[in-house]
Amino acid sequence: MLNRSALLLRYKTPAVQWINDADPAPGSTPITAAEVNRDRTVYLVGDEVAESPEEVWRWVKVN
């Protein structure tokens, strides 16, 4: 048993725009938010982080 909570982050428009701007391949097709969010990374955080939305946001900003 793990005392952890799962945290999934979804990319929003500014992050998708940054990804497309940082793409070094000229003439490549821009990636969409749906494509970026298809495969997500799961972060396991301690239960103390997941106790409140404020703690989750604080953890995300720091990490």
7 three-class SS: strand
Q: How many CB atoms lie within 10 A of CB 3?
A: 8
Residues 6+ apart with CB under 8 A from 10: 37, 40
Specify the pTM.
0.63
Q: Are 33 and 13 contacting, i.e. CB atoms less than 8 angstroms apart?
A: yes
Tell me the pLDDT tens digit for each residue of 5-37: 888 888 999 999 998 888 777 778 888 999 999
Tell me the pLDDT tens digit for each residue of 35-61: 999 988 888 888 888 888 888 889 889
